[in-house]
Amino acid sequence: MKVYARTPLDLQKVTVPQGQVYLIPERCKGCSLCIEFCPQEIFQVSTGLNAKGYHYPEIIPGKEEACVHCGFCTLVCPEFAIFTLLVEPEVP
Ligand code: SF4
Ligand code: SF4
């Protein structure tokens, strides 16, 4: 829950996008940049190893729907190992 110093006047009009995270573990080199730069702090280092011997990131349990599709993880990943797709909101 965000705490605002002053509530934005258009707060009710703003919808927060949701992203679906995709990771290609075999490309990862375990640099942890995606973990450090994610503003939602949804990643942690996994115990799993890829074929190159690196611990790739994983989503922290309970944060599967926390991605806001900002694209920072894709931007900073030097191995093009991670990307997100926008989850379209359900039409009522
Ligand atoms: S798109 Fe943004 S919020 Fe989603 S996992 Fe990447 S850095 Fe985190
Ligand atoms: S930024 Fe890319 S290479 Fe680095 S830990 Fe994340 S997925 Fe792996």
Q: Is the CB of 79 under 6 A from ligand 2?
A: yes
Q: How many CB atoms lie within 10 A of CB 26?
A: 12
* CB of 42 closer than 6 angstroms to any ligand 2 atom: no
pLDDT, position 63:
97
Q: Is the CB of 38 under 6 A from ligand 2?
A: no
Q: What is the pLDDT of residue 42?
A: 97
pLDDT of residue 92: 72
| One CATH from 3.40.1350.10, 3.40.50.2300, 3.30.70.3270, 3.40.50.2000 for 30-87 | 3.30.70.3270
Using one digit for the tens of pLDDT, what is the confidence trace for 16-75? 999 999 999 999 999 999 999 999 999 999 999 999 999 999 999 999 999 999 999 999
How far does residue 39's CA lie from ligand 1's centre (Å)?
Answer: 7
Indicate whether residue 56 lines ligand 2 (CB < 6 A).
yes
CB 84 within 8 A of CB 77: no
Q: Which pLDDT does position 1 carry in this prediction?
A: 65
Amino acid code (one letter) for 57: P
Predicted TM-score (pTM) of this structure? 0.87
